[in-house]
Amino acid sequence: MTTLFYLLGYLAVIGFVALAYMKIKSYYKASPLHVRWELYPVPHEGAKAQYGGSFMEEKEWWTKPRHIEHMGDIMGIFKEVLFLHATFEHNLKLWVRTYPFHLGMYLLMGGVIILLGGTVLEIFGLSPDSWLMTVIGNVLNACALAGNFCIIVGGCALIQRRLADPGLRRYSTKEHYLNLGSFVVFGVFGLLAWLANPSFYSLAHDFMHNLLTFNFACLNSTLFCLHLLVGFLLMILIPVTNMGHLIMKYWMYHDIRWGDSPTAQDEKNQGKIPDILQYKTTWAAAHIAGDGQAKTWLEVATTNPAAPKKED
C-alpha cells in the first residue's frame, strides 16, 4: 500500500506535466487568430501605457520600427498573478473572496518549491541540521499553516458567492463546485495534519526525500497522507478543468489581451489569414447580410450588408 501511495505521487506529477503540455499544445494548434481586444493601456507600450496610449498614435507609425517594453509585460503579468489587480479594480466583492484562495495556493506552491530545493541540496551533502534547513523548516511550517487556512476560507467564500449571487449561480456548473470543494478538502486535511503533528515540515521533508530517492518508507500520519492524496487528484484536475487558467494565464494576457502586433508587420499572422478566411459561417444575422446559407469569412467580409438587395 505504501508503494502504491508513492506511485500515485509519481503519476500525479507526470500526469500534471503531460496534461499541461497537451493543453498548451492544443491552444497553439486549435486556437484561431484572435480579434484584438483594443483594450488600453497595454503594458509593453512603455511610457505611453501611463495614459492609455499606443504606437498607433504616432504619425505614419507603420513606417517606423516598433519598440516593445518587455519588462512592462513581465511586471503586468507579475502584478496580475500575484495580486489579481484587475479583479481588485473592477470587482472588489469577488476579490476579497478569491484573493485569499489564490494566496493560499501561492504559499503552498512556494513552500513546495523551497522544500524541493532544500531537499535536493541535502541529497548532495547539505547537513539536515544546517541553518539553511532550519530556516526552510520554519518557512515551510508557516507557509503550510497560512496557505491551508487561506484556501479553506477563500474556497468556502467562493462557493458561498456562487450560491448567493444570481448571476454567478446561473453560470456555475457542478465542475466549479467540485473544483472548489476539492481544494477546501485539501486545505482541511492539511490544516488538521499541521495541528495534529509536532512538525508539518518533518512530514513534508520525509515525503519529498523519499520521493526523490525512491525510498518508499511509511509516513506516520494518516491526515498528511490524505492531504497528499487529495493533492494528487488536484494535480490531475487542474489542467483539464476550468482551473487550467493557472497554467494558461501567460497566454491569456500576453497572446490574447495584449497581442497588438499589426498584421502588416507580422508574417505569422499573414500566413494564418488566407486559411481563416475560408472558414464557413452560417449566421443569419441581418447586420452581416446573413441568409442562413454557408458562406466563407471572405464572402462575409466583402459583402456590404447595407447595400440594397438586387431584385430578381
Dump pLDDT digits (tens) for 81-132.
889 988 999 999 999 999 999 999 999 999 999 999 999 999 999 999 999 9
List of domains in the chain: 2-31+91-257 (1.20.950.20), 277-301 (no CATH)
Which residues touch 58 (CB under 8 Å, ≥6 apart)? 64
Which residues touch 128 (CB under 8 Å, ≥6 apart)? 122
Cell of 5: 501511495
Burial 96-113 (b: 16+ CB within 10 A, else e): ebbbbbbbbbebbeebbe
Q: What CA–CA distance (Å, rounded) separates 118 from 192?
A: 24
pLDDT of 37 reads 63
Q: Which amino acid is at 70?
A: H
pLDDT of 36 reads 67
Q: Are 267 and 260 in contact (CB under 8 A)?
A: no
Note every long-range contact of 3-10, with CB atoms under 8 Å and residues 24 or more positions apart, other chains counting. Answer: 3/216, 5/216, 5/225, 5/228, 5/229, 6/210, 6/211, 6/216, 8/229, 8/232, 9/207, 9/211, 9/228, 9/232, 10/211
Q: Which of 162, 208, 201, 166 is nearest to 184 (CA)?
A: 162
3-state secondary structure of 295: strand
Strand ranges (E), the chain: 280-281, 295-296
Mean pLDDT by 10 residues, the chain (312 residues): 93 96 86 70 87 87 86 87 90 95 96 96 93 95 98 97 91 92 98 96 96 93 96 94 84 79 82 86 74 81 76 58
pLDDT of 147 reads 98
Q: Please tell me what DSSP assigns to residue 280.
A: E
- 6, 111, 200 from 138: Cα distances, Å: 25, 10, 10
pLDDT of 303 reads 80
pLDDT of 38 reads 66
pLDDT of 290 reads 65
